[in-house]
C-alpha cells in the first residue's frame, strides 16, 4: 500500500535527512515515533506529496507519486490521501458542512450531503453541521479535521501530531476515532508523533 | 460548493474592506459613465438642433450668444436687426433660403417665437392636432409646451415680456392655440410658434403707453415702433421695412458662401454673421477642458480602487495562507487557487461596475430634472450606451490586473513550509 524507497530531503544549506524505507500493508495502523526536529513532519509531507523528496520515491497504491506532475499529484492526493494536522485549519468563511463540501469539490468527487452528515454523526458532530469552525472547541475542531480527512474515502490516512495539543481524554478519543474511521474504509493509517501516551496503543511502530 | 461560491463567501466574510473597494470602484465607474451620458446627450441635442443651418445673422455682440439664443433658445438674444438689412442678406445670390425669427416674449418660461412655416418644416415636425398658425395671435405649440402646461386647442393665454418671471404681461392681446406639434426631440418641442406680426402687435401698446422695461431682461428695439400701423400679413412685407426681427437663419446655395457671406455681413452691415458649426466646436473645446479634467480624475479614482482591491486581496492572503495550503492538501491545484483569487477581484469589479452604473444613471435622472428646469432641455438617465460595455471591459481589466499578483502568490503557496511553520 505504502512504500518508500531511499527517500531523503535536503533543506537549503543543511545536511540531508535520510529515512529508512517504510512498507505498510492496507488496513494496518502505524505509529512513527521520534523526538522534535528529527524530521517527522518532513517524512509525513513527503509521503503526502506536499514536499518532493530530494532522492528516492514514494509509492502509494501502486502509483509512484514522486514522479507525478503537480496537477496530477494534487488530484491524486485529494482522492487517495487524507491528512490530519497538529493544528486544524479550515476555510474560515465557510461553515463545517461547506468545508467538507469543499473537500469533495476540490478532490473532484460528486457533492454528497448524506455522506457528510453520516461522517459527522459518526464523529458525534451531527449538530455542528452549520457551525463556523471558530465556534468549535479544540477537540471538536480536531474531529472535524478527521471528518475532512476521511470524507473522500482515502486509501491512506496521515496524521501529524494529532494529539499533542489535546488533554488525555480528547487525545484518546481522537486516536480511537482515527482508528475506527481508518478501519471502516480499510485504509492504511500512519500517525507521526512524539506523544509517548500513544506508544502502547500501537503494535506497529517505526522509530526515527 | 464551487470556486465562484467560495470566492463570494470570502468576499462577504470581510464586508468592510470589500465595501471600501466597492465604493471606490463605483465612484470611478459612475463618474466616467455620467460624463459619457452628459456628453453624449448634449452632443446629440446640439447636433440635432443644428438642422443644417449654415449661418445665423443677428445684432452685433457675442457670436456664441447669437447661436445659443437663435438655434438652441437657451441664451438671451444679442439684440434686433432691421428688416431692411435682413432683406439685404435674403436677396444675396449665394443665399438659398432664410428663416426669420422674432423673439422677446414668453408664456410661463416657454419662449414665443415669431417665424414662418419654414421653421417647423426645418425640424421635420408633424402636427399632432389642429393646424399651423395662420392669422395673427394664432399659435402652434411644441409637444412639451402643450404637455407641461396642459394647453388644448382653442385655449387662450396672455404672453409675458421677457423670458423669465411674468413681470409684465401684454394683456391687450390674447394668443389662441391653433395647433399642437408631435414630439420631435428637437428644440421646437419647447417653443410656442406664431407669426412675426403677432410679436410686433403684442408690443404695440400705443404711443401713450409709458411702461418702462428697466429691470427685466429683454433685447433692445422691440418696443420702438409703437405708432406704426400694419396690416395682417404672415411674413414681413415691404411696408414693414422699418420693423425689426431678432435674427435670420441662413442656408447657403453653395459652399463659396461660407467664405464670402460672413465677411460681407460683418464688414458691410450693422449685423453680425455667426457660423453655428464653428461656435459649437468652440463651445465643446471650452467645456472640453473641464471634461478632460473630470475624466482624468475619474480614471485616477478607478486606478485607486484597483489598488485598494489589490491591497485588500494581498492582506487577506496573509491571513488565509493556512487555508490556501489546506485547500492544496485537499486536492486543489495551483490553477484553482489562482482562479479563486482572480474571481474575487473580478466579482468586486463587476459589483463595483453595476453599482457605478446605477449611481450615474440615478444621478443623471436627478440632473435631468434640474437641467430641464433651467434649460428647458430634456435629458434622461434611462438610456444605455454601448460605451458602457467598454466601461465594463475596462472594469474587468482593472479587477483582473489588481488580482493577478495576489493570485500568483496564492498559487505559489509552499504547502509544506506553511503547514510545518504552525
Give the tens place of pLDDT for each residue, B288-310. 888 888 889 988 988 998 999 99
Contact A81, A154 (CB under 8 A): yes
Half-sphere exposure of residue A34, counting CA atoms within 13 Å on the CB side? 17
pLDDT at B221: 41
* Contact between B1 and A91 using a beta-carbon 8 Å cutoff: no
Instruction: Provide the sign of the torsion angle of the four alpha carbons B370, B373, B374, B377, taken in this order.
Output: positive
Count CB neighbours of B217 within 10 A: 13
d(CA B135, CA B116): 12
The pair phi, psi for residue A157, each rounded to 5°, is -115, 125
CA dihedral (B17, B19, B20, B25) positive or negative: positive
DSSP state of B54: -
Compare CB distances from B326 to A41, A89, A104 and report the shortest one's residue: A89
Coil, helix or strand at residue B82? strand
Preferred mutation among B15, B419, B422 to probe A, highest tally of A CBs within 10 A: B419
pLDDT in tens, A40-79: 889 999 999 999 999 999 999 989 999 999 999 999 999 9
Task: List, in sequence order, the alpha helices (H) in B150-275.
Answer: 196-202, 256-268
pLDDT at B376: 58
Residue in the block written with cell 509544506: B416
B327 and A48 within 8 Å at the Cβ level: the answer is no
Put simply, the answer to whether A102 touches B6 (Cβ < 8 Å) is yes
CA distance B198 to B174: 10
What are residue B248's DSSP bridge partners?
B57, B100
Does B330 contact A45 at a Cβ distance shorter than 8 Å? no
**Residue range A119-145, pLDDT digits in tens:** 999 888 999 999 999 999 988 999 999
pLDDT at A21 over 70: yes
Task: Measure in Å the smallest separation between the Cα of B406 and chain A Cα atoms.
Answer: 18
Which residue segment(s) compose the domain that A64 sits in? Answer: 2-207
User: Is residue B170 within 8 Å of B209, Cβ to Cβ?
Assistant: no
Which of B151, B145, B227, B225 lies closest to B189, judged by CA? B145
Does A11 reach chain B within 8 Å, measured CB to CB? no
Cβ burial of A139 (10 Å; 0-12, 13-18, 19+) is middle
Distance CA B387, CA A76 (A): 47
**% of residues, chain A, pLDDT over 90:** 66
User: Are the Cβ atoms of B13 and A77 closer than 8 angstroms?
Assistant: no
Q: Which three cell numbers stand for residue B9?
A: 463567501
Q: What was the pLDDT predicted at B211?
A: 41
**pLDDT score at A203:** 85
Q: What is the pLDDT of residues B396-407, one digit of tens each?
A: 999 999 999 999
Rounded to whole angstroms, how far apart are CA atoms B115 and B72?
Answer: 15
Judge whether B57 and B86 are in contact, CB under 8 Å. yes
Scan for cell 410686433, then name that residue. B200
Closest CA to A119 of A136, A137, A103: A103
Q: Does A61 touch chain B (CB under 8 A)?
A: no
Pairwise CB contact (< 8 Å): B333 & A90: no
Which residues of chain A lie closer than 8 angstroms to B330, CB-CB? Answer: 78, 102-103, 106-107, 148
Higher pLDDT residue, A82 or B283? A82
Number of domains making up chain A = 1
Neighbours of A194 (CB within 10 A): 16
DSSP secondary structure, B113-138, as one string: EE--THHHHHTT--EEEE----STTE
Residue A111 with chain B: CB contacts under 8 Å: 1
Cβ-based burial of A168 (10 A; exposed 0-12, middle 13-18, buried ≥19): exposed
How far is residue A20's CA from residue A23's CA, in Å, rounded to a whole number? 10
> For A102, which of B322, B330, B415 is closest by C-beta distance?
B330
Contacts of B12 in chain A (CB under 8 A): 93
> What average pLDDT is seen over chain B?
85
- Close Cβ partners of A129 (under 8 Å, ≥ 6 residues apart): A95, A96, A97, A116, A117, A120
CA distances from B74 to B40, B100, B192, B320, B377 (A): 18, 18, 14, 60, 9
B265: alpha, beta or left? (left if phi > 0; alpha if psi -120 to 50): alpha
pLDDT of amino acid B254: 87
Dihedral sign, Cα of residue A143, residue A144, residue A149, residue A151:
positive
ipTM: 0.92
Q: Using CA atoms, how far apart are residues B231 and B292, in angstroms rounded to an integer? A: 55
Query: Whose CA is closest to B173, among B192, B197, B189, B152?
Result: B197
The CATH code of the domain that includes A190 is 3.40.50.300
Least CB–CB distance from B330: residue in A78, A86, A93: A78
Judged against a pLDDT cut of 90, whether residue A80 lies above it is answered with yes
CA dist., res. B403 & res. B348, Å (int): 10
CA pair distance B196, B101, nearest whole angstrom: 7
Candidates B23, B1, B12; CA nearest to B344 is B12
3-class DSSP assignment, residue B158 = coil
User: CA B281: distance to chain centroid?
Assistant: 15
B36 closest CA partner among B398, B397, B391, B393:
B391
Distance, in Å, from the CA atom of B158 to the CA atom of B171, rounded to the nearest integer, reads 6
* Whether the Cβ atoms of residue B389 and residue B353 lie closer than 8 Å to each other: no
Q: What pLDDT digit, counting tens, does each position of A162-187 carry? A: 888 788 888 888 899 999 999 998 99
- CB pair distance less than 8 Å for A71 and B322: no
Domain boundaries, chain B: 3-46+290-420, 55-274
Which helix (H) or strand (E) is A145 found in, with range? Answer: helix A138-150
Residues of chain B with pLDDT under 70: 164-171, 204-242, 373-377, 422
SS (H, E, C) A103-115: HHHHCCCCCCHHH
- Residues of chain B neighbouring A86 (CB-CB closer than 8 A): 422
Q: Angle formed by the axes of helices B334-375 and B321-329, to 10°?
A: 130
Query: Closest residue of A to B15, CA-based?
Result: A93
> Cα separations (Å) of B351 from B5, B18, B25, B342?
15, 10, 9, 14
Interface contact B331-A106, CB threshold 8 A:
yes
A14 compared with B51, residue with greater pLDDT? A14
> How much is the pLDDT for A59?
93
Nearest chain A residue to B12, by CA: A93
E-strand stretches of A10-138: 17-18, 23-24, 29-33, 55-60, 63-64, 81-84
Amino acid at each position: 500500500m505504502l512504500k518508500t524507497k531511499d527517500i531523503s530531503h535536503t533543506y537549503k544549506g543543511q545536511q540531508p535527512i535520510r529515512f529508512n524505507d517504510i512498507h505498510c500493508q492496507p488496513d494496518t495502523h502505524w505509529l512513527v515515533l521520534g523526538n522534535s526536529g528529527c524530521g517527522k513532519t518532513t517524512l509525513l509531507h513527503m509521503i503526502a506529496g506536499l514536499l518532493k523528496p530530494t532522492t528516492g520515491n514514494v509509492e502509494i497504491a501502486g502509483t509512484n507519486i514522486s514522479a507525478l506532475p503537480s496537477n496530477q499529484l494534487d488530484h491524486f492526493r485529494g482522492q487517495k490521501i487524507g491528512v490530519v494536522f497538529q493544528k486544524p485549519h479550515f476555510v474560515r468563511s465557510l461553515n463545517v458542512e461547506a468545508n467538507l463540501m469543499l473537500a469533495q469539490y476540490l478532490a473532484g468527487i460528486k457533492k454528497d450531503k448524506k455522506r457528510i452528515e453520516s461522517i459527522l454523526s459518526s464523529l458525534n458532530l451531527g449538530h455542528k453541521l452549520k457551525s463556523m469552525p471558530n465556534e468549535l472547541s479544540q477537540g471538536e475542531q480536531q474531529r472535524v479535521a478527521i471528518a475532512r480527512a476521511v470524507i473522500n474515502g482515502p486509501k491512506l490516512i496521515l496524521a501529524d501530531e494529532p494529539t499533542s495539543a489535546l488533554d488525555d481524554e480528547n487525545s484518546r478519543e481522537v486516536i480511537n476515532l482515527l482508528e475506527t474511521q481508518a478501519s471502516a474504509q480499510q485504509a492504511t493509517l500512519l500517525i507521526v508523533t512524539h506523544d509517548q501516551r500513544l506508544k502502547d496503543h500501537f503494535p506497529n511502530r517505526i522509530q526515527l | 460548493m464551487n470556486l465562484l461560491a467560495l470566492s463570494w463567501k470570502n468576499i462577504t466574510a470581510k464586508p468592510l474592506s470589500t465595501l471600501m473597494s466597492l465604493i471606490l470602484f463605483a465612484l470611478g465607474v459612475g463618474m466616467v459613465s455620467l460624463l459619457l451620458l452628459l456628453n453624449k446627450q448634449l452632443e446629440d441635442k446640439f447636433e440635432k438642433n443644428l438642422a443644417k443651418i449654415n449661418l445665423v445673422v443677428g445684432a452685433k455682440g457675442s457670436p456664441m450668444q447669437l447661436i445659443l439664443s437663435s438655434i438652441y433658445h437657451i441664451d438671451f438674444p444679442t439684440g434686433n436687426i432691421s428688416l431692411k438689412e435682413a432683406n439685404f442678406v435674403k436677396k444675396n445670390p449665394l443665399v438659398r433660403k432664410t428663416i426669420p425669427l422674432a423673439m422677446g416674449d414668453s408664456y410661463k418660461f416657454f419662449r414665443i417665437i415669431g417665424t414662418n412655416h419654414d421653421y417647423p418644416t426645418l425640424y421635420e415636425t408633424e402636427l399632432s392636432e389642429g393646424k399651423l398658425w395662420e392669422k395673427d395671435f394664432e399659435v402652434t405649440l411644441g409637444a412639451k409646451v402643450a404637455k407641461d402646461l396642459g394647453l388644448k386647442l382653442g385655449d387662450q393665454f396672455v404672453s409675458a415680456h421677457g423670458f423669465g418671471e411674468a413681470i409684465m404681461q401684454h394683456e391687450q392681446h390674447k394668443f389662441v392655440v391653433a395647433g399642437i406639434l408631435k414630439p420631435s426631440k428637437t428644440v421646437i418641442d419647447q417653443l410656442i410658434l406664431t407669426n412675426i406680426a403677432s410679436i410686433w402687435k403684442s408690443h404695440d401698446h400705443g404711443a401713450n403707453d409709458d411702461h418702462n422695461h428697466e429691470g427685466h431682461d429683454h433685447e433692445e428695439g422691440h418696443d420702438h415702433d409703437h405708432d406704426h400701423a400694419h396690416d395682417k400679413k404672415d411674413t414681413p412685407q415691404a411696408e414693414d421695412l422699418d420693423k425689426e426681427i431678432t435674427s435670420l437663419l441662413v442656408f447657403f446655395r453653395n459652399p463659396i458662401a461660407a467664405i464670402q457671406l460672413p465677411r460681407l455681413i460683418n464688414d458691410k452691415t450693422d449685423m453680425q454673421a455667426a457660423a453655428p458649426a464653428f461656435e459649437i466646436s468652440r463651445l465643446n473645446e471650452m467645456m472640453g477642458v473641464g471634461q478632460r479634467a473630470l475624466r482624468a480624475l475619474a480614471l485616477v479614482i478607478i486606478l485607486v480602487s484597483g489598488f485598494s482591491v489589490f491591497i485588500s486581496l494581498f492582506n487577506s492572503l496573509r491571513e488565509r495562507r493556512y487555508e490556501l495550503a489546506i485547500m492544496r492538501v485537499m486536492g486543489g491545484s495551483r490553477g484553482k487557487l489562482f482562479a479563486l483569487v482572480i474571481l474575487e477581484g473580478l466579482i468586486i469589479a463587476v459589483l463595483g461596475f453595476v453599482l457605478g452604473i446605477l449611481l450615474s444613471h440615478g444621478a443623471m435622472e436627478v440632473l435631468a430634472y434640474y437641467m430641464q428646469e433651467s434649460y428647458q432641455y430634456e435629458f434622461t438617465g434611462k438610456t444605455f450606451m454601448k460605451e458602457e460595455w467598454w466601461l465594463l471591459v475596462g472594469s474587468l481589466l482593472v479587477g483582473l490586473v489588481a488580482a493577478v499578483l495576489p493570485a500568483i502568490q496564492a498559487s505559489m503557496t509552499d504547502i509544506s513550509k506553511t503547514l510545518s511553520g504552525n
